[in-house]
Amino acid sequence: MNININNYEEWMVDYIEGNLSKVQEEKLMHFLEVHPELKSELEIFQQTKLQPDMHMVFENKEMLKKEEAGRVIGMPVWRKYAIGIAAAMLLFAGVKFLSVNNADVSGIKYTAKEISKPVFAFKQKETTDSGAIQSEKNIKQQPEIYFAEEKEIKKEKFADDKKELKEENKMEQIQRDANFVTEDMEFASIDEIDVIKHRGRIERDVNENYLQYTYANYVQPEMKTKNNNTIIDKYNNTVAFTESIGSLLGFGKDDKEKNDTDDLKETHIKIFDIEYYNRKKTDK
């Protein structure tokens, strides 16, 4: 069909819709040459091409979206963070554990050095009991001798009993724990810590909640840190913190009441040198 005065609108619309072939386009242009008064109509037709209002958008598209599988989903946000923190702490603990092991030699040295002080006190008490009161000056002249005696006793115990050896290992661990805290918890300085160690008491406490008790025996309770916490608060906080990490990962502190008749699946984890256990009953 050819273009004429009755159907030119259809041709124009087809033109702006892009439906015309090259030949048809030429026919339309030729028609407009003949009817120039209709040219403006084609221009107006071109204005009927709608432009979307790009400012009109669906606000907050996120609400339409769904969580992708493979991501960690269905877990409350706090747990994501908690696991992140726990992972970071484990890494930190791992590094710390290595450094604690490396520091073992110096740690023992430190303990040995500090032992001299409580030993004085002990000896002073002893001498008080026997009635012969020594002056502080006199005590200070003998510390190394006394320390040597103490060491000998330890050696004897090692030889005597394997159980005692185990206890001794535990005590070493306690010392490491103590060192860890003193070295890393922003205390004023190690020198300022007055050790009032009492060896007999420590041994008794080993089988109880030894970490907290023993620590109290190692240092003066009123010793304050920069944050105005006592040194024991600091240590307890550390223990509580590691415990919370342990429990977050499903581990608990070692409970001695293990029923031997049960088949148990046991997993160990060590955080800041403190062991946690996860025991699950298994069906036979």
Partner 1 sequence: MTTKEYNEVVDTWADGVFRFIRKNLTNEDDARDVVQNAFEILWKNHENVQFEKAKSYLFSTAYHNMIDFIRRNKRMNYVEEMDEGAKGGTAEMQIDVKDAIEKALLKLPEVQKNCIVLRDYEGYSYEEIGELLALTESQVKVYIFRARQTLKNYLVSIHHLI
Which residues contribute to the site for partner 1 (CB under 8 A)?
Answer: 9-10, 13, 16-17, 41, 44-45, 47-53, 56-58, 61, 63-69
Check residue 115 and give left, alpha or beta (phi > 0: left; psi -120 to 50: alpha).
alpha
Task: Please state the closest distance from residue 72 (CB atom) to partner 1, in A.
Answer: 14
Q: Which is nearer to partner 1, 56 or 133 (CB)?
A: 56
Task: Please state the closest distance from residue 3 (CB atom) to partner 1, in A.
Answer: 15
Task: Please state the closest distance from residue 15 (CB atom) to partner 1, in A.
Answer: 11
Task: Please state the closest distance from residue 39 (CB atom) to partner 1, in A.
Answer: 13
Q: Which is nearer to partner 1, 31 or 45 (CB)?
A: 45
d(CA 119, CA 141) in angstroms, rounded, equals: 12
d(CA 181, CA 204) in angstroms, rounded, equals: 22
Q: Which residues face 71 on adjacent strands?
A: 69
Q: Please, which contacts does 17-26 make with residues 24 or more away whose CB atoms are closer than 8 Å?
A: none
The single-letter code of the amino acid at 157 is K
Task: Please state the closest distance from residue 26 (CB atom) to partner 1, in A.
Answer: 21
Which burial class, exposed, middle or buried, applies to 236 when counting CB atoms under 10 A from its CB (0-12, 13-18, 19+)?
middle
Q: Which is nearer to partner 1, 34 or 54 (CB)?
A: 54
Check residue 51 and give left, alpha or beta (phi > 0: left; psi -120 to 50: alpha).
beta
Task: Please state the closest distance from residue 43 (CB atom) to partner 1, in A.
Answer: 10
Q: Which residues face 94 on adjacent strands?
A: none
Q: Could you write out the three-class secondary structure of 38-56?
A: HHHHHHHHHHCCCCCCCCC
Q: Which is nearer to partner 1, 28 or 139 (CB)?
A: 28
Q: Which is nearer to partner 1, 68 or 257 (CB)?
A: 68
Residue whose pair of structure tokens reads 């702006």 in the numeric block: 16
Q: Which is nearer to partner 1, 53 or 255 (CB)?
A: 53
Neighbours of 31 (CB within 10 A): 17
Q: Which is nearer to partner 1, 10 or 275 (CB)?
A: 10
Q: In what order do the strands lie in the sheet with 252-253?
A: 252-253, 274-281, 264-271
Q: Which is nearer to partner 1, 17 or 192 (CB)?
A: 17
Task: Please state the closest distance from residue 102 (CB atom) to partner 1, in A.
Answer: 47
Task: Please state the closest distance from residue 7 (CB atom) to partner 1, in A.
Answer: 11
The single-letter code of the amino acid at 221 is P
Helix ranges (H only) for the chain are 8-17, 22-34, 39-47, 77-102, 104-130, 136-140, 143-160, 162-184, 199-205, 210-218, 231-248
